[in-house]
Amino acid sequence: MIPALSGSAISLSQALRQYRRSRRRVFAGKWMLERFLGWAMYFPRLFDRGVDRMGRRDGMADIMIGAAGGYIPCGEVLNPRFLARMLL
């Protein structure tokens, strides 16, 4: 039986806590990447520079698209080295 469906209030709250933790662990990187891109759009010149750099540097656009699509860990994009290559 699924613990959350057993009818017990304690098991339901525990199951929901466990679900929230699992969901956060799985999606936290993607949410941070989305937030980063959203904030970056507030600075159009900087955003355009980053997009231009990714297009010219080997594989950077592929990494960004893979991270956004969930095929590559978001940590590949959200690290100082990748961000520096994108902007410098």
Q: Is 76 domain-assigned?
A: yes
> Are 78 and 36 contacting, i.e. CB atoms less than 8 angstroms apart?
yes
Q: Based on the structure, what is the number of domains in the chain?
A: 1
Q: Which domain holds residue 64?
A: 27-87
Q: Which pTM does this prediction carry?
A: 0.75
What is the 3-state secondary structure of 12-51? HHHHHHHHHHHHHHHHHHHHHHHHHHHHHCCCHHHHHHHH
Give the separation between CA 66 and CA 73, rounded to whole angstroms.
Answer: 8
Q: Is 5 domain-assigned?
A: no
Helical pair 44-56 and 80-87, crossing angle rounded to 10 deg: 100
Q: Is 36 domain-assigned?
A: yes
Give the separation between CA 88 and CA 86, rounded to whole angstroms.
Answer: 6
pLDDT digits (tens, 9 = 90+) for 25-64: 999 999 999 999 999 999 999 999 999 999 998 899 999 9
Q: Is 1 domain-assigned?
A: no
Q: What is the pLDDT of residue 5?
A: 58
Q: Is 7 domain-assigned?
A: no
Q: Is 48 domain-assigned?
A: yes
